Amino acid sequence: MPSAAEPSPVLRAVLDAAVRATGASCGWLAAVSADNAELVAVDAIGDGAERVAGGAVPVDSGTAGFVVASGQPVAVAARGDEGLLCEGLAARLDPLPASIVSVPCAGTEGVVGALELVDKAGGTPFSFDDVELATLLAGIAAAALAGTPGGAGAPRVPDPRRLGAELTRLAGADPARYAAIAAAVDALLAGA
């Protein structure tokens, strides 16, 4: 896996697009370790990123642990002492996040990691659209994570027509989010 000191350009582009498009204050990509025992933050950007990048936690902890185990995305807003926001990689932040979106990075061999975004700008909760956008970008990240040493098998790659249709839909519905994803896709194509 790439180290936190040398993030993958593909993962960095995906992560940057996710943070900018959702208005998150911080985000990271966590990869399942080769022995399936830990989640390792292979890259992080935003407020407090230096406390998360390179960190490792047990594979079953926090929101990323839930997402990796279930294969389902989750969006959580703090209500009192919210356990999932006090565990895992999010526990490295100070203060603890008030809201988090965590989505699986799924390949054909299963979930290879999670994309997590915390604390949307303005203190508003993350929306269903934020979860959809993060899920789309996590699919791209899965391919990059699966291709790293120690990564899970071959990635699940969306059909180009489906991906094109989703990008077209996003361009009409939310041009700003489309611009962020288009920049990430452009960066990926430039590296090909």
Average pLDDT of the chain is 83
Q: Does the residue 4 lie in any domain?
A: no
Question: Would you state the pLDDT for residue 183?
Answer: 75
Among the listed residues 129, 125, 145, 121, the one whose alpha carbon sits nearest the alpha carbon of residue 29:
145
79 is a domain residue = yes
The stretch 5-28 carries a mean pLDDT of 90
CATH number for 153: 3.30.450.40
Instruction: Note whether 181 and 152 are within 8 A (CB).
Output: no
pLDDT at 5: 46
User: Which structural domain, as residue segments, surrounds residue 41?
Assistant: 9-190
User: Rounded to whole angstroms, how far apart are CA atoms 155 and 178?
Assistant: 23
Residue 87 has what pLDDT?
87
Q: How far is residue 94's CA from residue 91's CA, in Å, rounded to a whole number?
A: 8
- pLDDT-derived band at 94, boundaries 50, 70, 90: confident
Q: Is 159 left (phi over 0), alpha (psi -120 to 50) or beta?
A: beta
The verdict on residue 25 lying in a domain is yes
- Split into its structural domains, the chain has a count of 1
Number of alpha carbons in the 13 Å side-chain half-sphere of residue 31: 28
